[in-house]
């Protein structure tokens, strides 16, 4: 036979539940009383008649187990077996009314509250301090995780580039001309190292740079976004395809151009793509097209103006981006614009730096508006690297901005009064790099 009794007394700091379930023989008759909550709860065994003792109840309520725990306090007990009629009848008589139960479990609520309130306040202060520490530790963990992710991503890309470099070396073989070009490239990079270090610091630590945003399924389908701090209204957007002789291209090569354009309130997306031998020219064109498609579809979420998107390519990137535009135009003629993820009509203008001159000739031959501008006494990399590192006025940058900001008198006025850029590399090193450049 089973007897169940439940009663609740409400206190200021919590609740007491008394639940009775009977089973077993008189020889096994015991009660199990559980004080506290959670991990701090403790169990006390004794005869069930102890539950009717008011001194014991008061002692329990004043024990450290209750005062140390805020919340619900449960007292679970095995009831008196029905095989003891005297004790059972006495128990029933005592709990027949709510007043009888109150007599057996009389507790000075005000006294308990007065004793426990200082401990409760201390515990609240400890909890607040603990939550503050948890928030600080959470922020630290997120920064550490972000740093670890960045280091891991850099290590993975370094391994990939190293492996592809050795694979490329097997294709090219080891010859005198190749070795001399490689040594010239190393010396050229050493001359511009002061500027590269400053640009690298900006690339990794500037809040304007959002690195390695995924735009496709391939490992190299990543792009970097350079977003101006003043991003209260939609900005013009430049989708930049970097150069690298189709074998050493990387999205970080556009960080100097990205920094210059961001300072003039232009959003820049530097698109990475597969290089040879990881991919063919068709793969490079496909990757760049996917990157431009991502920009056209999602740049509004980053504060860009989808109606003012410009494509810029440099060196091999100029060749790849021009192929992207031609291929997209052919696809539009075949299957229609509505069946494609982006359209050439979404591109306001195309700039080919140190490349793409043949493309402009083809455009002019079919009646398209195209212009070729030659810069006197400039090498393949002067316009893109040495001149911006020299500081002062950047002629190529001003020409690009004159097209991007055309029709925007406020932006043109800001360009006119923009301060000159500071020098990144001493002049003697720039002249030396100009002479040894392998490009």
Identify the pLDDT of residue 71: 39
Where does residue 335 rank: exposed (0-12), middle (13-18), buried (19+ CB within 10 A)?
exposed
Q: How confident is the model at residue 119 (pLDDT cuts 50, 70, 90)?
A: low
When pLDDT is averaged across residues 131-152 and rounded to a whole number, the result is 62
Examine the pLDDT at 110 and tell me if it is beyond 80.
no
Q: What is the pLDDT of residues 190-235, one digit of tens each?
A: 999 999 999 999 999 999 999 999 999 998 999 999 999 887 889 9
What six digits make up the tokens of 117?
């309130």
Interatomic CA distance for residues 55 and 35, integer angstroms: 16
Identify the pLDDT of residue 373: 87
Examine the pLDDT at 422 and tell me if it is beyond 70.
yes
Examine the pLDDT at 409 and tell me if it is beyond 70.
yes
Q: What is the pLDDT of residues 362-392, one digit of tens each?
A: 888 888 888 888 888 888 888 899 999 999 8
Interatomic CA distance for residues 172 and 175, integer angstroms: 8
Place of tokens 């100009």: 434
Share of the chain above pLDDT 90, in %: 41
Question: Residue 23 is inside which H or E element, if any?
Answer: none
Query: 227-233: long-range contacts (C-beta < 8 A, 24 or more apart)?
Result: 227/262, 227/267, 227/302, 227/303, 228/262, 228/263, 228/265, 228/266, 228/267, 228/303, 230/265, 231/303
Identify the pLDDT of residue 104: 45
Identify the pLDDT of residue 162: 75
Phi, psi angles (nearest 5°) of residue 237: -125, 140
Identify the pLDDT of residue 224: 96
Average pLDDT along the chain:
75
Identify the pLDDT of residue 129: 55
When pLDDT is averaged across residues 58-70 and rounded to a whole number, the result is 42
Examine the pLDDT at 93 and tell me if it is beyond 90.
no
* Closest CA relative to residue 30, chosen from 80, 75, 76: 80
E strand segments, 91-250: 209-214, 222-226, 235-241
* Closest CA relative to residue 48, chosen from 88, 8, 9, 96: 88
Identify the pLDDT of residue 180: 84
Q: Are residues 314 and 276 in contact, defined by beta-carbon separation less than 8 angstroms?
A: no
Examine the pLDDT at 336 and tell me if it is beyond 70.
yes
The neighbour count for residue 143, using CB atoms within 10 Å, is 10
What six digits make up the tokens of 316?
């091999």
* Closest CA relative to residue 395, chosen from 421, 430, 369: 421
């Amino acid at each position: 036979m089973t007897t169940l009794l439940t009663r609740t007394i409400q206190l200021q700091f919590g609740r007491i539940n008394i639940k009775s379930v009977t089973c077993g023989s008189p020889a096994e008759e015991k009660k199990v009383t559980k004080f506290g909550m959670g991990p701090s709860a403790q169990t006390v065994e004794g005869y069930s008649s102890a539950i009717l003792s008011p001194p014991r109840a008061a002692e329990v309520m004043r024990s450290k187990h209750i005062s140390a725990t805020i919340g619900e306090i449960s007292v679970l007990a095995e009831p008196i077996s029905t095989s003891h009629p005297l004790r059972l009848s006495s128990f029933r008589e005592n709990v027949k009314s709510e007043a009888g139960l109150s007599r057996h479990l009389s507790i000075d609520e005000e006294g308990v509250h007065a004793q426990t309130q200082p401990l409760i306040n201390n515990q609240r202060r400890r909890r607040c301090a603990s939550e503050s520490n948890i928030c600080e530790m959470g922020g630290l963990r997120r920064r550490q995780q972000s740093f670890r992710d960045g280091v891991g991503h850099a290590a993975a890309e370094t391994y990939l580039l190293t492996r592809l470099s050795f694979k490329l070396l097997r294709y090219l073989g080891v010859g005198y001309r190749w070795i001399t070009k490689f040594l010239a490239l190393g010396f050229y990079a050493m001359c511009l190292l002061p500027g590269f270090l400053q640009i690298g610091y900006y690339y990794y630590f500037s809040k304007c740079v959002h690195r390695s945003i995924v735009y496709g399924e391939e490992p190299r389908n990543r792009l970097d976004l350079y977003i101006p701090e003043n991003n209260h209204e939609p900005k013009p957007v430049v989708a930049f395809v970097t150069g690298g002789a189709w074998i050493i291209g990387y999205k970080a090569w556009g960080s100097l151009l990205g920094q210059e354009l961001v300072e003039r309130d232009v959003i820049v997306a530097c698109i990475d793509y597969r290089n040879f031998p990881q991919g063919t020219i068709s793969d490079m064109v496909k990757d760049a097209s996917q990157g431009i498609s991502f920009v056209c579809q999602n740049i509004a979420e980053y504060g860009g103006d989808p109606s003012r998107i410009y494509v810029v390519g440099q060196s091999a990137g100029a060749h790849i981006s021009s192929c992207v535009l031609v291929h997209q135009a052919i696809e539009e003629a075949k299957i229609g614009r509505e069946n494609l993820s982006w359209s050439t009509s979404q591109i306001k203008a195309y700039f080919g730096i140190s490349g793409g001159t043949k493309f402009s000739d083809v455009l002019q031959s079919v009646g398209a508006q195209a212009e070729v501008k030659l810069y006197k006494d400039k090498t393949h990399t002067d316009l893109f690297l040495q001149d911006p590192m020299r500081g002062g006025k950047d002629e190529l940058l001003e020409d690009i901005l004159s097209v991007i900001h055309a029709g925007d008198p406020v932006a043109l006025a800001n360009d006119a009064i923009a301060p000159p850029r500071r020098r990144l590399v001493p002049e003697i090193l720039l002249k030396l790099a100009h002479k040894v450049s392998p490009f």
